[in-house]
Chains A and B, each alone.
Chain A
Amino acid sequence: MENSVYHFTIDKTLYKDKGEQKMEDKFVLGGKEFNSRFILGSGKYNLKLIEAAVKQGGAEIITLALRRANTQESENILDYIPKGVTLLPNTSGARNAEEAVRIARLSQAMGCGNFVKVEIMRDTKYLFPDNYETVKATEILAKEGFVVLPYMNPDLNVARDLQSAGAAAVMPLAAPIGSNKGLATKEMIQVLIDEIDLPIIVDAGIGKPSQACEAMEMGAAAVMANTAIATAGDVPEMAAAFKLAIEAGRKAYLTGMGRVLARGGSASDPLTGFLR
């Protein structure tokens, strides 16, 4: 369509016609439907802030860790998580597939569903996931009926292996856990988004809302954040900021981004009717 006043051409085919879908843009994971694409981590902050963070962040999925129980404290994190929120226990602490499977089964026995984030690390400096052991654990757990969300170092071949192993999504890291460094692995994550037919959930390293927004603009299905919120000045307020950023990025992705010129500029103002 030629616009005679502005002298530019709108190619409608560039824009994805998602008008209908926009109305019900559900995030489907393991057969469950979610309205929110923000997965909230619960580590490193006060239990009493969790409910406010979940509410202000609009999160419908929250991650947890399984550890030896404490006899000194009567409060438990489950007392603070609002009803209806899906629990996503991780297998942190696991150094190989066998340990991850053990932790996943124990978490399932808690009676809070069958979602599990497989997280296997041998490296203690960068906390990078062990992709090889992660594929092994994913295969075992998926066969047992778990909804497996594997945390991984972004690699196309491994992501394909995870898909074959029965993963429900793939969770590539943006930067080392807890680093708040943002999308250091951006190009690799984009490859996964483009090539893998599973939800890509950007996990770890996202440090601020703009980075979460960018991940969503790239086409990520969801973003997981913990440290960015836990170390913020105000935990629930930062959760609220992430909510807005994730929604903005998602909307932009669905809408279709404006084009980028190879060179030169393009007037935004009419090129006729100048006052001469």
Chain B
Amino acid sequence: MVKINGKEMDIAGQNLLDYLKEAGYRPERVVVERNLEILAREDLGSITIEEEDTIEVLEFMGGG
């Protein structure tokens, strides 16, 4: 299983950028961390999600 934003998902083998788009994220508005490593936005399309990956997809929100 793969953990994305705390949720277990069965998505190993998928292209990361394709997954983000399908799931409804806006790749140009998020930053992605995979196993505690920050991914460059331009690399998202060349990364395959692997079994046991822990991925965080983050965005800016209102805050003080």
Contacts and interface: CB of A to CB of B under 8 A. Distances in A.
A211 to B, nearest CB: 16
Interface residues of B toward A: which range? 20 to 34
Interface residues of A, number: 39
Given A69-B5, A111-B41, A78 B60 contact: yes
B62 interface: yes
B12 interface: no
A92 B57 CA distance: 17
Interface centre among B5, B25, B62, B64 (most CB of A within 10 A): B64
B18 to A, nearest CB: 14
Contact of B63 (A43, A69, A111, A204): A43
A45 B25 contact: no
B63 A65 contact: yes
B58 A177 contact: no
Given A43-B62, A87-B60, A92-B63, 12 more contacts: A67-B61, A69-B57, A70-B59, A76-B26, A76-B59, A76-B60, A77-B62, A89-B63, A106-B33, A106-B56, A111-B41, A227-B64
16 contacts: A41-B63, A43-B63, A43-B64, A44-B64, A64-B61, A66-B60, A66-B61, A68-B5, A69-B5, A69-B25, A69-B58, A90-B64, A106-B58, A107-B60, A109-B40, A178-B64
